[in-house]
Amino acid sequence: MAEQQHESRRVVVETPSARREVVHSETSRYPERSGGVSGAALAAIVVGVIALAAIIILFVMNQQQNDANANLAQQQQPPTTIVQQPAQQPPIVVQQPAPATQPAPVIINGQPAPATASGGSTKSTGPDDGAIQTAVDKKLNDDPVLSALGITATVLNGKVTLMGSVKSEALKSQVERAVRSIKGVKSIDNQISVG
Give, in words, the CATH class of 129-194: alpha beta
Q: Which pLDDT tens digit goes with each residue over 90-110?
A: 777 776 666 666 666 555 555
pTM of the model: 0.37
Q: Which pLDDT tens digit goes with each residue over 29-74?
A: 766 655 566 888 889 999 999 999 999 999 999 999 988 888 887 7
Q: Helix, strand or coil for residue 109?
A: coil
Helix, strand, coil proportions of the chain in percent (round to 5)?
35, 25, 40
Domain residue spans of the chain: 129-194
Q: Helix, strand or coil for residue 95?
A: coil
Across the chain, what does the average pLDDT equal?
A: 79
CA distance 139 to 130: 14
